[in-house]
Amino acid sequence: MRNTAMNVVTPLRTAAEQALAAAVEQRLQSQPVAGRIGELRRAAATAFSEGGLPTRRVEEWKYTDLKAILRDAVPLAGPLDASAEAEGSFKALTVPGAKRILFVNGALARPASDLLALESGIAALPLESAIASNDPLAERIGALQPQRYDAPLALNTVFLGEGLLVRVAAGAKIAAPLHIANVFTGDDPVATYGRVVVVVEDGAEVTLVESFQGRDGVAYQTNTALELFVGDGAHVDLVRVQEEGDAALHLSTVMVEIGREAQLHTFALNSGAKASRTSLYGRFGGQHSHAGLRGANLLKGKQHQDTTLLLDHAVPHCESRELFKTVLADESHGVFQGKIVVRPDAQKTDGRMMSRALLLGEAAEMDNKPELEIFADDVQCGHGATAGDLDEDLLFYLKARGIPQRQAEALLVQAFVGEAIEFVENEALRELIIARAETWLAKRA
């Protein structure tokens, strides 16, 4: 809408945006927070008021029109009851040998969580408790921010409440993975906003797992954010498994700061939700570090999945590898937008990025947009993207040896995604991911 008298453009707000704006205002008034956290929430509210939900006109959301997808602003989830907690504990993904922290319908399920049974060297504190007690770790909340406005992150910050703060002490070698499980169990659509902040101090080693499961047929909305600080000489493996219900909306923001001589390996498996988007922002803050960012997306029906990442090589002598595999059946739609930025001082950067898509349905669609933005001259960087059908020669070879069509296709798909899965370092986790992929293939058949 154009106001000709003032010659300014007033954007039209959808019903969902208006409802979200009202919920934002109500949240600020009903749960005021002083200090830095209060300032963060108010700044995020202002940003959402000005920016609203992104459309295709916003370059980072060109292939995922969130304003069109998020048609209804469902209410915030209410308090957790015993029956929901019990169901959530039963349905949560089981990670062998892991210590689990369980969130059900966005709320911490304390009795079903190993908060007091963690190894020496790792501590976890409920986010609300940390804010109320002015815990020093709470100062890390909101310390990592993308350079541009991010609508899901702004909303997550406004509704900041439930979540977890994790600290891994300097030099600690944590043997058991820490599993942060999120489960939705309700019959009515609600929205949850979870925030996890993980500080891995210098020289520490830890494996982190985030999982998301939910009930089919319910149009609930998950908005989650993770801030991960990887200290100098630290080694972090992050595995995320997104298996939301088939009518859900999943919005995820991952922000990472990588220190000097550090190792970060991430893997994401996305096979759930009607529509999902993961925004990953990573930055090298110290020299001689390595980051490997990988994932596999398994889509069918009319699912929409968007992986958008920005990796900032801000210092010299760092190496990054990105590999994402997407399998698309039926009328599903996949999106990969990846950008590697090499700053002027980041000489000797080595960055490689690849996205590959396997189209199993004639109506399936993949949008690939890999980018390099290089401001230094002594670098080795490359990117690529492919999209295609199953190899007919390989399929014929398998069928000629008596393997049925569906089984032959499944074997080729397993080999296709296996190239990314093999980088999961923890053997039990790697086997778990393979099993989840096989389950998806079996259901499709």
Rounded to whole angstroms, the Cα distance separating 349 from 351 reads 6
Provide the pLDDT for residue 431.
96
Domain boundaries, the chain: 78-390, 391-444
> Which residues of the chain are under the pLDDT cut of 70?
1-11, 445
End-to-end CA distance of the chain, in Å? 49
Query: In this structure, what token pair is assigned to residue 175?
Result: 């043997």
Provide the pLDDT for residue 1.
47
Provide the pLDDT for residue 7.
54
Provide the pLDDT for residue 429.
96
Provide the pLDDT for residue 34.
79
Provide the pLDDT for residue 110.
94
Of 75, 44, 40, 69, nearest to 55 (Cα)?
A: 69
Rounded to whole angstroms, the Cα distance separating 44 from 275 reads 24
Quick one: how far is CA 342 from the chain centroid?
Answer: 23
Strands 178-184 and 99-104: parallel
Provide the pLDDT for residue 114.
96
Q: Contact, 296 vs 437, CB < 8 A?
A: yes
pLDDT tens, residue by residue, 161-171: 899 999 999 99
pTM of the model: 0.95
pLDDT tens, residue by residue, 283-326: 999 999 999 999 999 999 999 999 999 999 999 999 999 999 99
